[in-house]
Amino acid sequence: MAKFNYLQIVYGGMVAVAGVNEVVDTLEIKNINKVFDTYIKIPNRDKKEVLKIWKEMKEEKFVELIIEELKLFPKMDQLEAYKYVVQFINFSNHQYLKSKKSQPKGVDPERAEMSQYWDKANVIREGLGISMVEYNAFIGRR
Protein backbone atom coordinates (compact mmCIF):
# COMPACT_ATOMS: atom_id res chain seq x y z
CA MET A 1 0.00 0.00 0.00
CA ALA A 2 1.43 3.34 -1.08
CA LYS A 3 2.09 5.98 1.59
CA PHE A 4 2.47 8.90 -0.82
CA ASN A 5 1.07 10.29 -4.04
CA TYR A 6 3.48 11.33 -6.81
CA LEU A 7 3.80 14.95 -5.70
CA GLN A 8 4.47 13.88 -2.11
CA ILE A 9 7.21 11.57 -3.39
CA VAL A 10 8.85 14.46 -5.24
CA TYR A 11 8.64 16.57 -2.08
CA GLY A 12 9.92 13.61 -0.05
CA GLY A 13 12.92 13.24 -2.35
CA MET A 14 13.89 16.82 -1.58
CA VAL A 15 13.36 16.25 2.15
CA ALA A 16 15.46 13.07 2.01
CA VAL A 17 18.32 14.97 0.40
CA ALA A 18 18.04 17.87 2.85
CA GLY A 19 18.03 15.40 5.73
CA VAL A 20 21.53 14.04 5.13
CA ASN A 21 22.55 15.25 8.59
CA GLU A 22 19.35 13.77 10.10
CA VAL A 23 17.90 17.28 10.53
CA VAL A 24 15.84 19.35 8.13
CA ASP A 25 16.08 22.89 9.44
CA THR A 26 13.82 25.83 8.62
CA LEU A 27 16.16 27.20 5.97
CA GLU A 28 16.18 23.84 4.17
CA ILE A 29 12.37 23.64 4.34
CA LYS A 30 12.20 27.21 3.00
CA ASN A 31 14.47 26.24 0.07
CA ILE A 32 12.50 23.05 -0.59
CA ASN A 33 9.22 24.97 -0.59
CA LYS A 34 10.64 27.70 -2.84
CA VAL A 35 11.75 25.20 -5.49
CA PHE A 36 8.72 22.96 -5.10
CA ASP A 37 6.14 25.76 -5.15
CA THR A 38 7.75 27.34 -8.21
CA TYR A 39 6.90 24.29 -10.34
CA ILE A 40 4.31 22.24 -8.47
CA LYS A 41 1.47 22.93 -6.05
CA ILE A 42 0.22 20.61 -3.32
CA PRO A 43 -1.63 21.40 -0.11
CA ASN A 44 0.42 22.19 2.99
CA ARG A 45 -1.18 19.22 4.77
CA ASP A 46 0.43 16.90 2.21
CA LYS A 47 3.82 18.51 2.83
CA LYS A 48 3.35 18.20 6.59
CA GLU A 49 2.42 14.53 6.18
CA VAL A 50 5.71 13.90 4.34
CA LEU A 51 7.71 15.72 7.03
CA LYS A 52 5.90 13.77 9.76
CA ILE A 53 6.73 10.43 8.15
CA TRP A 54 10.35 11.57 7.61
CA LYS A 55 10.66 12.40 11.34
CA GLU A 56 9.17 9.03 12.34
CA MET A 57 11.51 6.99 10.12
CA LYS A 58 15.23 6.62 10.17
CA GLU A 59 16.83 8.57 7.33
CA GLU A 60 17.98 5.54 5.30
CA LYS A 61 14.56 3.87 5.62
CA PHE A 62 12.89 7.05 4.35
CA VAL A 63 15.16 7.15 1.29
CA GLU A 64 14.36 3.47 0.63
CA LEU A 65 10.63 4.28 0.92
CA ILE A 66 10.94 7.15 -1.57
CA ILE A 67 12.83 4.93 -4.03
CA GLU A 68 10.38 2.03 -3.70
CA GLU A 69 7.33 4.25 -4.14
CA LEU A 70 8.88 6.09 -7.08
CA LYS A 71 9.66 2.78 -8.79
CA LEU A 72 5.89 2.27 -9.12
CA PHE A 73 5.73 5.17 -11.59
CA PRO A 74 6.86 5.24 -15.25
CA LYS A 75 10.50 6.03 -16.02
CA MET A 76 9.65 9.53 -17.27
CA ASP A 77 8.04 10.35 -13.91
CA GLN A 78 11.12 9.02 -12.11
CA LEU A 79 13.38 11.23 -14.22
CA GLU A 80 11.12 14.22 -13.60
CA ALA A 81 11.20 13.62 -9.83
CA TYR A 82 14.99 13.36 -9.84
CA LYS A 83 15.15 16.59 -11.86
CA TYR A 84 13.30 18.41 -9.07
CA VAL A 85 15.70 17.02 -6.47
CA VAL A 86 18.62 18.36 -8.54
CA GLN A 87 16.87 21.73 -8.82
CA PHE A 88 16.60 21.86 -5.03
CA ILE A 89 20.33 21.16 -4.64
CA ASN A 90 21.25 23.79 -7.23
CA PHE A 91 18.93 26.36 -5.66
CA SER A 92 20.35 25.70 -2.17
CA ASN A 93 23.88 26.07 -3.49
CA HIS A 94 22.96 29.30 -5.26
CA GLN A 95 21.37 30.70 -2.07
CA TYR A 96 24.49 29.75 -0.10
CA LEU A 97 26.77 31.51 -2.57
CA LYS A 98 24.58 34.65 -2.47
CA SER A 99 24.53 34.71 1.35
CA LYS A 100 26.15 37.71 3.00
CA LYS A 101 26.97 35.93 6.24
CA SER A 102 30.65 35.55 6.95
CA GLN A 103 32.32 32.35 5.84
CA PRO A 104 34.40 30.44 8.38
CA LYS A 105 38.05 29.69 7.68
CA GLY A 106 38.71 26.21 6.41
CA VAL A 107 35.90 23.84 5.52
CA ASP A 108 32.49 25.37 6.08
CA PRO A 109 30.13 22.75 7.62
CA GLU A 110 27.18 24.18 5.68
CA ARG A 111 29.06 23.81 2.40
CA ALA A 112 30.16 20.29 3.36
CA GLU A 113 26.54 19.35 4.02
CA MET A 114 25.55 20.61 0.57
CA SER A 115 28.22 18.37 -0.88
CA GLN A 116 26.50 15.47 0.88
CA TYR A 117 23.25 16.43 -0.85
CA TRP A 118 24.76 15.15 -4.10
CA ASP A 119 25.73 11.86 -2.46
CA LYS A 120 22.15 11.32 -1.28
CA ALA A 121 20.72 12.37 -4.65
CA ASN A 122 23.00 9.82 -6.32
CA VAL A 123 21.70 7.11 -3.96
CA ILE A 124 18.18 7.95 -5.14
CA ARG A 125 19.22 8.08 -8.81
CA GLU A 126 21.07 4.77 -8.63
CA GLY A 127 18.23 3.18 -6.65
CA LEU A 128 15.92 4.05 -9.52
CA GLY A 129 18.37 2.67 -12.06
CA ILE A 130 18.83 6.02 -13.78
CA SER A 131 22.21 6.51 -15.45
CA MET A 132 23.76 9.94 -15.83
CA VAL A 133 23.62 9.49 -19.61
CA GLU A 134 19.90 8.79 -19.40
CA TYR A 135 19.32 11.77 -17.09
CA ASN A 136 21.38 14.13 -19.25
CA ALA A 137 19.44 13.02 -22.32
CA PHE A 138 16.20 13.67 -20.43
CA ILE A 139 17.10 17.22 -19.39
CA GLY A 140 18.59 18.00 -22.78
CA ARG A 141 15.29 17.13 -24.36
CA ARG A 142 13.33 19.63 -22.26
So what's the pLDDT on residue 142?
54
Kindly report, residue by residue over 1-34, the tens digit of the pLDDT: 788 999 999 999 999 999 988 889 999 999 999 9
Please state, for a pLDDT cut of 70, what percent of the chain lies above it: 98
Confidence of residue 99 (pLDDT cuts 50, 70, 90): confident
Kindly report, residue by residue over 55-70, the tens digit of the pLDDT: 999 888 999 999 999 9
Per the rule left: phi > 0, alpha: psi between -120 and 50, beta: everything else, 22 is: left
43: closest CA among 11, 88, 13, 74? 11
Whether residue 89 contacts residue 122, with contact meaning beta carbons closer than 8 Å, is answered with no
- Does the structure show a pLDDT above 80 at 108? no
Rounded to whole angstroms, the Cα distance separating 98 from 83 reads 22
Rounded to whole angstroms, the Cα distance separating 91 from 95 reads 6
Residues 6+ apart with CB under 8 A from 74: none
Whether residue 121 contacts residue 82, with contact meaning beta carbons closer than 8 Å, is answered with yes
